[in-house]
Amino acid sequence: MLLEDIILILLFLLIVTIAAVPVGKYMSNILTGKKTFISPLIRPLEKFIYRICSIDENQEMSWKRYAYALIIFNIIGITFLFVLQLIQNILPLNPAQMSGVRWDTALNTAISFATNTNWQSYAGETTMSYLTQMLGMTVQNFLSASVGIAALLALIRGFTRQNSDTIGNFWVDITRTILYLLLPLAIIFALILASQGVVATIGPYVTAHTISGINQTIALGPVASQEAIKMLGSNGGGFFNANSAHPFENPNGFTNILETFLILLIPISVVFAFGYIIKNFRQGLAIFAAMMILLVAGMGVAYWAESQPNPIIEKMGVSGGNLEGKELSFGVGQSVLWGVATTSVSNGGVNSMHDSTMPLTGLVYMFNLGIGEVIFGGLGVGLIGMLFYVILTMFIAGLMIGRTPEFLGKKLGPYEMIMAVIALVVPAALILIFSSVAISTPQGLAGLNNPSAHGLSEILYAYASAFANNGSAFAGLSANTVFYNLTIGLAMLIGRFIVILPALAIAGALAAKGRVPTDASSFPSTNALFVIMLVAVVVVVGALTFFPVFSLGPILEHLFLQGGLTF
């Protein structure tokens, strides 16, 4: 089983990487306004949208106008989804007669889906109507994903333009992303998932009479359409409470591999698209290599940890890997592959319960979240975070060689450094602050179902997931309370905009600069030394920030298990 799992994981990573190269090329074409093979079909619709929305696609924005449009767009999305949940009981497509959602849950959910987090403190099949799922959650899955790619594209323009005071048009960027990329792929994969048994209906729930003589309500719904974009858009929000561990969302081994593939496809493709857009594919490869090294290293630790028997259970004569909280047909290998992928990418979907993983596996998942999910990360935002680490790496390299740091022909001054450090340090600090408040107040402790080190891990994971805009949870924390809905909602907002706004500010500053020639004294950013330095900076920053609290959480719990102690 060990060899089979390793071959499966390595073959999977090879296939998704090969597929990401042409997708990245296609993305570079659509994001730069070039014609593609579907342009004759999509272009008329694109022009129609511009016309009815009074958008001049040739009029560009300064970084401040771009940021303003992005913020207004998100405010409108949050408000619409919030109100939709409150009044869903009087709206159509509600066969289960769901009542209006409680205000704090509705606010948390609206923020969650608009920020591409998809944190769910509720059970979807018992809380949200079909209309809310389709018009609210599924639509926001498209919109929030397009915002992340738009922000990345603006940052890339900062590196590629010279002496410019504009970084593109926000409305054009999100429109092209949705029409040419997300919508076609979502339609294709929704049909594939539906063909494999993922539910797709607007009919009412079914009541089954079981052999034990009781009636059981079986929840149904328009799942396949939401499932496709949930994976493609790095969203992760499940139609059902069990997410992709539910057979109606993920019915068999093929859909499990396919959905894992969709989690990674666009985030990896974005890195290659970056290389194509800047006309330096080797640079894209260097950043891809750093991300893949971090991904494989985390996967190795997590797989080793899950392959080991729980020491306490082993004393009872039970051997084998840790299968608690896992779908047996997926086993350890596919569960770990999904878990590392979903926490490396800001997806948050799960096919096994993270709360049931071994402590060191949970440590890997939390580390992936804590460093800002820059290991491929969400659509656009993950690469933005890695570019912040690149700026920090080039600054360190500049100090080593006694030269002003530069990257892609642009001098990196104090302003760019300050913006990058803010985006990297502030979320990490706030994860610790919010967690400390939660474990120090009765309201925070009231939602805790497990004490000691594991309880700390549950709270820490919740805020790390919120600030990273991931949305997955350890699930041992009862978070559907006013305290957690409001604090996690605030964390999701900060986590989203503390990355995007500094990126736009850097884009504006770089676009206004001229290009400096690269010579023999410049620090190369496409070789193995750069990759090693970038990986080291990411690991060291993450370790220095979180090692003390990790020592009190997953590491301490691991030592407890080795000593035969439970929490």
Taking alpha carbons only, the member of 386, 425, 387 closest to residue 159 is: 387
Helices and strands per DSSP (H, E), number in the chain: 22, 4
Residue type, 498: I
* Predicted model pTM: 0.94
DSSP, collapsed to helix, strand or coil, labels residue 114 as helix
Cα–Cα distances (Å) from 68 to 63, 65, 77, 159, in that order, read 8, 5, 14, 21
Spatial CB neighbours of 42, under 8 Å, sequence gap ≥ 6: 179, 180
* CB-based contact 118:139 (threshold 8 Å): no
Looking at 402-527, list the stretches that DSSP marks H as alpha helix, in order from N- to C-terminal side: 414-439, 442-445, 452-467, 482-511
Cα–Cα distances (Å) from 265 to 150, 190, 268, 517, in that order, read 18, 15, 6, 35
pLDDT value of residue 562: 85
Residue type, 43: R
The domain limits of the chain are: 381-562
Residue type, 47: K
For each of the chain's 567 residues, which pLDDT tens digit applies? 588 889 999 999 999 999 999 999 999 999 998 999 999 999 999 999 999 999 999 999 999 999 999 999 999 999 999 999 999 999 999 999 999 999 999 999 999 999 999 999 999 899 999 999 999 999 999 999 999 999 999 999 999 999 999 999 999 999 999 999 999 999 999 999 999 999 999 999 999 988 888 888 899 999 999 999 999 998 988 899 999 999 999 999 999 999 999 999 999 999 999 999 999 999 999 999 999 999 999 999 999 999 988 887 766 666 678 888 888 889 899 999 999 999 999 898 999 999 889 999 999 999 999 998 899 988 889 999 999 999 999 999 888 877 788 999 899 999 999 999 999 999 999 999 999 999 999 999 998 888 889 999 999 999 999 999 999 988 788 999 999 999 999 999 999 999 999 999 999 999 999 988 877 777 889 999 999 999 999 999 988 899 999 999 999 999 998 888 776
How far, in Å, CA of 97 to CA of 266, rounded? 37
The continuous run of DSSP H or E covering 289 comes out as helix 281-307
Half-sphere exposure of 354 (CA within 13 A, CB side): 30
Cα–Cα distances (Å) from 122 to 126, 131, 219, 481, in that order, read 8, 17, 15, 10
How far, in Å, CA of 317 to CA of 306, rounded? 18
How far, in Å, CA of 345 to CA of 193, rounded? 21
pLDDT value of residue 319: 64
pLDDT value of residue 315: 67
